[in-house]
Structure 1
């Protein structure tokens, strides 16, 4: 009886703490429509975990966004990429909510932000911070309207909840946001890895992809596999919520070995600095080559993610000859819907049929050391701990292309790439820039710093780089009207800009010699000015825009139109 009472008290304390930790009824739905997710918290993205949930907006922009609870606007940011237009609300219960990719702010906020933009003569505001008494907000108050700004793949609301003190991001579903999800995750396939030179999988020292047999909904299995030595597993798995076709991330991944937990992680919370370790959670080389993400059920020693729990030998298995192992990998979504993958392993002797060739090159990297190498006027410099582990680095220069290993190796830090450009004339130098030439047909501009006879850039991506020349000025086309045309009914000026070389760096537009705010949709490459920003005087007006690319090529375009102010 005493033990039962103790257990009840312990469980009550645990659930009470969880309820206090994450209040379920404090925050309301930030939209006035049913919650359907296009993206889940902790979802695997390129080089980072998804830091919030993406709420569908029925494919539309302009839906009202409501403050999730009382508080005050503590930060606003307008950026071309990333979150685009974002708003941060700090709440008295110790949490901050974030709303991103919005199209515009509510009137009083929009007026303030536009005043800053016109003062700076810049679309991007940087971070604007506010005191509690500047923009107090009530729960349910309209703060903004949904949109597609920044690095968004379509109209939706990106919504986050953060711990105000620590800036840790927390899964919003813990706070009562409640999308419908009755479907278990879907396993796609399995990959098995030999973790040292003595390990074997089906008599090969080579990672192997295994097809799955679907027994029934949520139940999968594979045929018997022979193995020996240290091995690990990776799974390609996703979740699909009700009323949505998106392939979303799972909440937790677990591995049992003969019924005992050897591996577990979930995405309840994480910090921004640790997000980069996603490249050690997944099979990064496979992702770079094939754009398919395998989540590993073992942890690399240098992986500092905080999401792991209950690891035995970091999830790595040591398969012994003559023993059988029943492996079960379990994937769950936040609602607890689960899928099970069963893997029978038979321990066998090491009878090698295939072995991976040893990797040896001229450049041996010990991860904890600094290295600097030069070949044919190209220098690479790697700070200490740029690499997660020791390796042999491939580095050569062939016909002006610096080939720096392959992009399949994840890096913890930026390295510096420097080109000696002393052989070029000053005129030629102005047109040159460093580019990633993984795709020779579409070189990708790297931010290039120019200093006398050297050009350099920093990057976290290995691969092929070269000096490229851009002699073409950007293209500018005004849409929907021609020079000297009356456009009295038009509410906006729209301009399409593009560049075939180094890419657009900046633009500056004026109307009757006064700077005007043009919002840039980089996905459509269209700039838009709204006539409601400024009152027109007279009927004849001159619009001018100057567009520059990343090496300084500039196109100046000017046109005259006629329009009377319409109140």
Structure 2
């Protein structure tokens, strides 16, 4: 009852009074702000945690501290946010700046010192409050394309410093800096029969519903004839002014005959909720067609804090002699809004298609329980709540190959796969791992060994085998020629790759001293910058060692000449 009351109060006003300061933070960039990603936008296995600002397809724009504070965390990684800086502010919020090319001044010197002290490109540091203070507007870094970035841009976040919950920067006045007078766009409306006996437009299967655009910008859908229960889903996106990049919407609200039944509003969420995006989506359709249909109902509730529902969890039941109007309202962060009206009418017309069959197996997985499966030399342990729904699991072991469901089933958390092997000679066992089979390719799953058992904690489904990797990585394509003078070059670069278990470590030494190589995994390049001043006048001897995840190593040795300028 409390949840429903809160939902009704929330729905009474599209946008509640904003409790956040709207003039405290400045823009982190001194160029016009255009979005390449919005807060809460649906991404692979997560909701996007900030705003992505375009940087005119360039790297190197000055990135400014959004307010006074101090650098509280620095994380440098080839993956994720790449080079990222976290600044704590005295008003209780933290700003995050990701995919940077490099830091500036004292911050960059602090990072380089840690990397050389730890002899590692990948570092994470938590400076004390007085170590790296910043003032509002200070240049703390430069924009880039590091980590998992798909192109040059700045990832910007605001978090609650204590709870670490992520907050929508639009609530802090950034809506005034990103021009948006354009309406959200709806591309698809889906209706889903709920339960084996439900029928929609004389069909048991989910259907796409036609929509007609009205002069006021709203939509009216074709009438839906229903027997039983149904739920709805939409595909939608938003556009901002002078920008044709599609981004996510801010609020979706569904009502039946004027009463709220399902909604979400993207003000804040916690990081550990992000994977529930797979429960919100029609995950099977995503995997089979690439379409991202957000389902506005829950057959089996999941604890995503942004969602509010009525007691039926957004599921609608048709009633004889009672016409129903289902309305979906979609808004962006600038209050641009559209709606769809969906007429619903009870019908007892029989279905003209066959019921959607459930492919039964010997293993009914109950998602709320721990589940353990064993055959031959393979066992799988699936903890409770690893999956969102109950389903018949495809589990089999044949000729040493494990088959475990397929990737059309969403997985929320790790489960355990164990292969027992007693036949492989001891000398080869350190080179073995549990591999996923992807067509003709094998891919590495992090694997530990305990005696005869090889164990992997994974979220991957599909086919698995116990594989062996005895081939070392390959180091190639240096950006210089052996024995040549390269005084005018600013970097040393090499390509590194491994075709099976993957790269784990990469290290370089110049004249016997460890040097920093940055790893750009997207281009398979490692890069040393001569600005580190680790070379000497004249001849320089370079040694690079690259190891894969099972310990195979490759060594590359060469020399070049360089003069200090």
TM over 0.5, yes or no? yes
SS of alignment partner, residue 205 of structure 1: coil
3-state SS of 1:239 partner: strand
> Which residue, out of 76, 86, 99, partners 2:84?
86
Indicate conservation of the 8 Å contact 2:210/2:222, yes or no.
no
Matches within 5 A, 1:317-328: 317-328=316-327
Following superposition, the deviation at residue 112 of structure 1 comes to 0.9
Q: Residue 301 of structure 1: CA displacement?
A: 4.0
Is the contact made by 2:510 and 2:534 (CA closer than 8 Å) also made in structure 1? no
User: 1:226 is paired with a residue of what secondary structure?
Assistant: strand
SS at match of 2:112: helix
Which deviates further from its counterpart, 58-67 or 338-347? Answer: 338-347
Q: Distance in 2 between matches of 1:15 and 1:526?
A: 49
Give 1:310 deviation, angstroms: 5.7
Counterpart residue number, 2:457: 458
Task: Please give the alpha-carbon distance, in whole angstroms, between the structure 2 residues aligned to 1:465 and 1:425.
Answer: 21
Cα distance change on mapping 1:287 and 1:81 into 2, 3 Å: same
**CA offsets 1:220-269 (integer angstroms, 9 cap, x no match):** 33322211111100101111222222221010111122233322211011
1:376 maps to 2:376: yes
Q: How does 1:191-210 map to 2 (within 5 A)?
A: 191-210=190-209
- Counterparts of 1:373 and 1:115, CA distance in 2: 49
Deviations 1:39-79 (A, max 9, x none): 00000111111110001111111100011011111111111
Q: Contact 1:234–1:295 (CA<8 Å) still a contact in 2? A: yes
Indicate the residue corresponding to 1:51 in structure 2.
Answer: 49
Residues 482 and 560 in structure 2, CA contact (< 8 A), matched pair in contact too: yes
Per-residue CA deviations over 1:311-366 (Å, capped at 9, x if unaligned) read 35221101123432222212111111122222222211262432122442111222
**In the aligned structure 2, how far is the partner of 1:197 from the partner of 1:484?**
74
> 1:53-132 maps to which residues of 2 (within 5 A)?
53-126=51-124, 128-132=125-129
Pair 1:151 & 2:151 matched: no
Counterpart position of 2:227: 228
Is the contact between residue 186 and residue 218 of structure 1 (CA under 8 Å) also seen in structure 2? no
Structure 1: runs of 5+ lacking an equivalent:
1-9
Once the 2 structures are TM-superposed, how far is the Cα of residue 117 of structure 1 from its aligned partner? Answer: 0.4
1:29 aligns with 2:27: yes
**Counterparts of 1:323 and 1:77 in 2: how far apart (Å)?**
58
What is the CA–CA distance in structure 1 between the aligned matches of 2:59 and 2:363, rounded to whole Å? 53
> Which secondary structure state, in structure 1, belongs to the residue aligned with residue 188 of structure 2?
strand
Instruction: State the Cα distance separating 1:154 from its structure 2 match.
Output: 0.9
Q: Following the alignment from structure 2 to structure 1, what is the Cα–Cα distance between the partners of residues 190 and 422?
A: 49
Equivalent position of 1:497 in the other structure: 496
Question: Which residue, 115, 119, 134 being the options, matches 2:131?
Answer: 134
Mapped pair 1:410 → 2:410:
yes
* Cross-structure match for 2:237: 238
- Contact 2:479–2:494 (CA under 8 A) maintained in structure 1: no
| Within-5 A mapping of 1:419-430 | 419-430=419-430
- Shift, 1:192, TM fit: 1.2
Unaligned runs of 5+ in 2: 1-8
Whole-angstrom distance in 1 between the partners of 2:358 and 2:34: 50
Following superposition, the deviation at residue 444 of structure 1 comes to: 2.2
CA distance in 2: counterparts of 1:397 and 1:290, whole angstroms: 29
Tell me the CA shift for residue 471 of structure 1: 3.1
* CA distances 1:406-431 after superposition (whole Å, capped 9, x unpaired): 22222332110111221222344343
Which residue matches 2:4? Answer: none
Tell me how far 1:399 sits from its aligned partner: 3.6
Q: Which residue of 2 aligns with 1:547?
A: 546
1:255-270 equivalences under 5 Å are 255-270=254-269
Alignment check: 8 A CA contact 2:35 2:243 kept: yes
Residue 187 of structure 1: aligned partner: 186
Q: CA 1:16–1:347 in structure 2 vs 1: closer, same or farther (change >3 Å)?
A: closer
Aligned equivalent of 2:390: 390
The count of aligned residue pairs is 551
Which 10-residue stretch deviates more, 34-43 or 459-468?
459-468
- Look up the SS of the partner of 1:278 in the other structure: helix
Once the two structures are TM-superposed, the CA of residue 449 in structure 1 deviates from its matched residue by 1.2
Is the contact made by 1:225 and 1:344 (CA closer than 8 Å) also made in structure 2?
yes
- Are residues 1:356 and 2:356 paired? yes
- Tell me which moved more, 261-270 or 26-35: 261-270
Q: How does 1:473-492 map to 2 (within 5 A)?
A: 473-492=472-491
Structure 1 residues 475 and 217: CA distance shift in structure 2, 3 A: farther
Q: In 2 relative to 1, CA 257–16 (structure 1 residues): closer, same or farther, beyond 3 Å?
A: closer
Local SS of the residue matching 1:265: strand
**528 and 361 in structure 1: CA distance in 2 versus 1, 3 angstrom threshold:** same
User: What displacement does 1:210 show?
Assistant: 2.9
Native 8 Å contact 1:410 1:461 kept in 2? no
Partner of 1:3: none
* TM-score between both structures, scaled by the size of structure 1: 0.93
Q: Distance in 2 between matches of 1:174 and 1:318?
A: 37
* CA-to-aligned-CA distance 1:83-138 (integer Å, 9 cap, x gap): 11111111111111111111111111111110010000000112x11222111111
> Tell me, what secondary structure is at the counterpart of 2:22?
coil
Q: Is the 8 A contact 2:474 2:498 kept in 1?
A: yes
* Cα RMSD, aligned residues only: 2.1
C-alpha offsets along residues 419-467 of structure 1, whole Å, 9 cap, x if unaligned?
Answer: 1221222344343322222x22333211111222121111123222222
More deviation in 47-56 or 326-335? 326-335
Q: Could you tell me how far apart the structure 2 residues matched to 1:497 and 1:488 are?
A: 24
1:185, 1:218 within 8 Å by CA — same for their partners in 2? no
Normalized against structure 2, the TM-score is what?
0.93
| Matched residue, 1:299 | 298
**Partners of 1:538 and 1:262 in 2: CA distance:** 73
Tell me the distance in 1 between the aligned counterparts of 2:517 and 2:274.
Answer: 34
